Copies of this chain bind each other. A is one copy, B any other.
Amino acid sequence: MGKGKVDIRDVAALAGVSVGSASRVINGVENVSPETRDKVERAIAILDYRPNHTAQALRSRSSKTIGCLFTDVTNPLYARLFRSLEERLRKDGYMLLLANGLNDAQRETETLALFARRGMDGVIAAPGNETDAQVLAALQALAMPVVVLDRDIAAPGCDALLFDHAAGMKAAMAELFAQGHQRIALALWRASSRPVRRRIEGYRAAYKAAGLRAPDMLVQAASATASVFADVDALLKRADRPTAIVAQGTYTLGSTLRAIEANGLRVPQDISVVTIGDSDFARDHSPSISLLNVDAQRVAEGIAMLLHSRMTDPGQPGRSERVPLQFTDRGSIGPAPRP
């Protein structure tokens, strides 16, 4: 038979009950007699009835949909997060609307407004720009629960899930210090985004905590996809070249490794390497590159918790949840070479 032609009234009629009772059964409400439930369920089965989600959403004021605004799904981190989020939220009956912000404030503002118009039950946002007034205003204007993802945005009533970059960085540095490394380079890109800022902070804090002076070995690529080959190459040609290097992101890591190779150095005998972020390329490398990254499932769990908590108590003050960065040793680090 045709699609969507059968509605709740047909079900009620066939079951010989009122639409109200049919609705109760469909929604698993408590106060329904077993017989009624049975009759309705039978009718549903016979008619192959599927509730119209749009009508449910309009009437119940709940779309069972979460809007995700990520900078770019093409970034493996967001792709992994999305997958975990979908997995987690699907359990609660939610589906996800996904939109890329692409570092375009206007686009992000529009997207947030659309989420509002579409009555999302919640919004998860990682805008590219943390300070754009329009974006901040759009975020504030949202009436539904909002979780800001790893951005330093203090919007009253907004919850945030933050990655603990600094602590992760310090942990990785501690590993390297323990192996006798003192000249550790850090390669990432030039941006004022929270991840970059926090990692540099952690890097410096680690030196300070170790009672050492941070060397002048910070390399910042022009963009996330730019090469740091030249800068790292120059670093490696110095007399006091680094004995270890921490590289954030696939491109940075790739060009770092090429520079190492070009200088005839071996990993980890001559230089230790740690990467931050996604593991695809890093894991497949030889040797496999030790890694600092975030557990997507844990992030999803944290977001689900924040969302749920605010749904049940909308008035509570903004919370922020922290997820650690995990260090995985995979054989690309070794003792610092003797001078």
Contacts and interface: CB of A to CB of B under 8 A. Distances in A.
Contact of A83 (B72, B87, B113): B72
A54 B57 contact: yes
Interface stretch (A27-35, A92-100, A184-192): A92-100
B86 A80 contact: no
B86 A79 contact: no
Interface in A268-322: 280-281, 284-286
A254 B284 contact: yes
A82 interface: yes
B117 A50 contact: yes
A285 B79 contact: no
Nearest to A227: B284
B96 A83 contact: no
A27 to B, nearest CB: 14
9 contacts: A2-B143, A50-B113, A50-B117, A53-B118, A53-B119, A54-B119, A58-B58, A95-B99, A227-B284
Interface of A: 2-4, 50-55, 57-58, 63, 65, 72-74, 76, 79-80, 82-83, 86-87, 90, 95-100, 113-114, 116-119, 141-143, 227, 250-251, 254-255, 258, 280-281, 284-286
